[in-house]
Structure 1
Amino acid sequence: MKYLNIDETILTKNGAIFTAKEIAGQPKLWIDIFEKIVVEKEEIQSYMKSALKKTKKIILTGAGTSGYIGYSIEGTVLRKTNIPTVSVATTHLVSHPKNYFNSSESILLISFARSGNSPESVAAVKLADEYSGECNHLIITCNSEGNLAKHSIKNNGYVFILPPEADDKSLAMTGSYSGMLLAALLINDITNINKLKKTVGKLALYGDLILTQHLELIKKVAKLPFNRAVFLGSGPQYGTAMESHLKLQELTDGEVICKNDSYLGFRHGPKAVVDENTLVVYYLSNMDDVLRYEKDLVEAMNDGKRPIAQIGISEKSLKDVDIDELIVLSDNKTYVEEEYLSVSNIILGQLLGFYKSLDKGLSPDSPSLSGAISRVVKGVTIY
């Protein structure tokens, strides 16, 4: 059996079998998540309708990778609900709850967690109940046995558990991240869930395309001798850039130092990090008005120090973007909603991290040689 075109025995020997299987299994996982949401449609729709009637503010939260999901969906949640929506990590909520919750406001707290066992996960839920006027909860998690899934939210919450395959065994979150992101997007548009089957099918197609036709290209880029990487994304793909930054950095045990930014934000000083040892990765929008800004930044990269390489991923073909490598996902003119690209495009960042980890002689399933990072965060005391 092969995963990511590498024999299972070799992956096992190199401590990479879980990460490889979990990255490769994402397109099928997305289909399974869609089908599970369809089964639970009536319950989800009923709960969300009731909760949103009372809600004055929506907070999207999670720790680390789980916290980045909110940055990819906050725009579409705001547009669908017409309720002010903000993404705030549990690590902020726990230390400064009064900055985000107040007794005169009814909120919906949407929590994301792979295991649900990070100390901040349940603490954030408890603090929201304590400090908010009224708090409803939507919990999206991969572990039915986790502390978050089992936490008592009585009649003011709904827990959506992803299929078992989403509960990654490796250190790095891959399928759990894209799976929770997709689940949130689908639940946000639950009334139209049946119409979204085509979108999910297209995402699975895009994922398979990256995992088959572009594996060797991504492996070749990962082998380049870079020790810095910059990931850029606009709007919903800003969250993709954030998560890619973390994936490459943690899978290389910090040997590759990474940065993320928006295209416009990168001009305001951060561009100074680019040198001849830097890889630049572009997550390109499928919206023409957004692409104008992104193309301008790509062109501006010719000014100053040139990076070792530039790679991008785009849903549509772009003839006027001058970079070393461009992965194009679609050859027709029917595109998904911009936020859904965050689900499939993250595979590029995951693969760069996976291959770079192997290139540096590390074990992707547990790359931290010192034990400084772990699958579930340790050493946090909740006061």
Structure 2
Amino acid sequence: MIQTTYLTLDAEKAEALGAFHTAKEIAGQPELWQQVFSQVAKDKGSIHAFLKPIFEKGNARIILTGAGSSAFIGESAQGTVQQMTGVHTQAIATTDVVTHPELFFLGDVPTLLVSFARSGNSPESVEAVKLADEHCKEIYHLIITCNPDGELAAYANDCEGNCFALVLPEGSNDNSLAMTGSFTSMLLAILLVAGIDQLGQLKEQFENAVETANSMLHHDLDKFEEVAKLDFKRVIFLGSGTMLGVARECHLKLQELTDGQVVCKHDSFLGFRHGPRAVANEDSIVVYLFSKDTHVARYETDLAKSIGQDKRKIKTLSFAADNTDGYHSILDLPAVGANEKAIFNVLPATMVGQLLGFYKCLQLGLHPDNPSVSGAISRVVQGVTIYRKEK
């Protein structure tokens, strides 16, 4: 009998530890990404036909929106989407849109609202779409979701002409509380949509990211386990540009999976110097999500060297570093074939937070599939009442 293993756990042990879904979903991401790439390539014609008239308007605007982790997809993707499409792009969380729509929507500007949603049932996600319809004279919706039966998918199916739903493969709809495959697959989807006419040129970069992820899964899991055994109370994730959104997602993932027992923070490399560096101490790990842009890397390396000179010998962990000499590094994770155009590096970089969170969760005696002991957080947010503003 062949024993199925997910990460470093066989299926039976994973079930016993309440870790089966999370382990399977983290481990399944490289294969899931291949499915997403194939799906977008297959739908290239219809995606292009939907977007082309919007982008040709000349004064269009793209808003990337979602709640929680889904909002962080937009934060990571916004710069790349703007660069690849030439269209002004902003990431605005649905949790901000719902309370202050008048601050974010411009009524006379043609707007493409890109909604990211694992379930498509979060109250804020549904309300943000309705508010966009009310506040924008010319509104278009691109809904990227993992659930064909969610409210957002149903909304796209019912609207006429100005909506396009990209429902990702079934495996993207995580069963676990923490978003893992859903996050990276939706992030990949918007990057591919933004480069819909360049999929052939993007394929090699994409395959490098898949190889990087597979390398982590095949060679580094025992190292993540060893890191998780260390006694640390804080973890700070640093990233620049597109990696800043990933740093925020990593910080949430580790904090969620440890039920808040490990307090996390995220920042940019340069921003960290301006006060936030005070949180880094002997009980901390600083995680560097390095850029492969040589110009950006100069700023990042300067900070890493500075922290490396701290007399407290603060522990660090690095993704895509060229050299970690003097960093007090406890784990170095290389990026395969990465260069300045490695836009898909955000995918394996996200797994750093996922894997660190998964193994620290187990080390703390929690259940990764549902780590919230108090029930304060849930797979789909609970307790949010939507209020309509009086006119």
Match of 2:44 in 1: 41
2:27 maps to 1:21: no
2:292 maps to 1:289: no
> Residue 363 and residue 47 in structure 1: after superposition, are their counterparts in 2 closer, same or farther (change >3 A)?
same
Q: Contact 1:73/1:339 (CA < 8 Å) preserved in 2?
A: no
SS in 1 for 2:166: strand
C-alpha distance in structure 2 between counterparts of 1:89 and 1:307, whole Å: 37
What displacement does 1:132 show? 1.2
C-alpha distance in structure 1 between counterparts of 2:227 and 2:324, whole Å: 21
What displacement does 1:306 show? 3.1
Match of 1:9 in 2: 12
One-letter identity of the residue aligned with 1:349: G
Q: Contact 2:205/2:342 (CA < 8 Å) preserved in 1?
A: no
What displacement does 1:79 show? 1.3
- CA RMSD, 1 decimal: 1.5
What displacement does 1:363 show? 0.2
What displacement does 1:22 show? 0.1
SS in 2 for 1:281: strand
Match of 1:367 in 2: 371
Match of 1:145 in 2: 149
C-alpha distance in structure 1 between counterparts of 2:384 and 2:37, whole Å: 35
C-alpha distance in structure 2 between counterparts of 1:276 and 1:23, whole Å: 30
The structure 2 residue matched to 1:322, chosen from 317, 327, 332, is: 327
Q: Contact 2:21/2:175 (CA < 8 Å) preserved in 1?
A: yes
C-alpha distance in structure 2 between counterparts of 1:255 and 1:147, whole Å: 34
For residues 199-278 of structure 1, what are the structure 2 equivalents within 5 Å? 199-278=205-284
Q: Contact 1:52/1:108 (CA < 8 Å) preserved in 2?
A: no
What displacement does 1:336 show? 6.8
> Residue 321 and residue 84 in structure 1: after superposition, are their counterparts in 2 closer, same or farther (change >3 A)?
farther
C-alpha distance in structure 1 between counterparts of 2:311 and 2:126, whole Å: 46
C-alpha distance in structure 1 between counterparts of 2:318 and 2:295, whole Å: 18
Match of 1:57 in 2: 61
For residues 254-281 of structure 1, the C-alpha deviation after alignment (integer angstroms, 9 at most, x for no partner) is 0011000000000000000011111111
Report the identity percentage.
47
For residues 15-42 of structure 1, the C-alpha deviation after alignment (integer angstroms, 9 at most, x for no partner) is 0000000000000000000111111110
Match of 2:380 in 1: 376
One-letter identity of the residue aligned with 1:132: C
One-letter identity of the residue aligned with 2:50: Y
What displacement does 1:81 show? 2.1
What displacement does 1:53 show? 2.3
C-alpha distance in structure 1 between counterparts of 2:19 and 2:230, whole Å: 20
Which consecutive segments of 4 or more residues in structure 1 shift more than 2 A? Answer: 53-56, 194-200, 302-308, 316-323, 334-339
Q: Contact 2:316/2:327 (CA < 8 Å) preserved in 1?
A: no
For residues 266-322 of structure 1, the C-alpha deviation after alignment (integer angstroms, 9 at most, x for no partner) is 0000000011111111100111101000001111114556365210010x6326563
> Residue 101 and residue 264 in structure 1: after superposition, are their counterparts in 2 closer, same or farther (change >3 A)?
same
What displacement does 1:203 show? 1.6
C-alpha distance in structure 2 between counterparts of 1:305 and 1:360, whole Å: 29
For residues 61-140 of structure 1, what are the structure 2 equivalents within 5 Å? 61-140=65-144
For residues 291-370 of structure 1, what are the structure 2 equivalents within 5 Å? 291-302=297-308, 304=310, 306=312, 308-314=314-320, 317-318=322-323, 322-324=327-329, 325-330=331-336, 335=339, 337-370=341-374
C-alpha distance in structure 2 between counterparts of 1:344 and 1:26, whole Å: 9
What displacement does 1:65 show? 0.3
For residues 174-221 of structure 1, the C-alpha deviation after alignment (integer angstroms, 9 at most, x for no partner) is 000000000110010001123322222222111100111111111111
Greater alpha carbon shift after TM alignment, 168-177 vs 83-92: 83-92
C-alpha distance in structure 2 between counterparts of 1:172 and 1:189, whole Å: 28
TM-score under structure 1 length normalisation:
0.96
SS in 2 for 1:326: strand
Q: Contact 1:274/1:305 (CA < 8 Å) preserved in 2?
A: no
One-letter identity of the residue aligned with 2:201: K
Q: Contact 1:137/1:157 (CA < 8 Å) preserved in 2?
A: yes
For residues 85-140 of structure 1, the C-alpha deviation after alignment (integer angstroms, 9 at most, x for no partner) is 11110000000000011322211111101001100111001101100121111111
What displacement does 1:228 show? 0.8
C-alpha distance in structure 2 between counterparts of 1:196 and 1:303, whole Å: 39
Structure 2 gaps of 5+ residues are none
Structure 1 gaps of 5+ residues are none
C-alpha distance in structure 2 between counterparts of 1:182 and 1:196, whole Å: 12
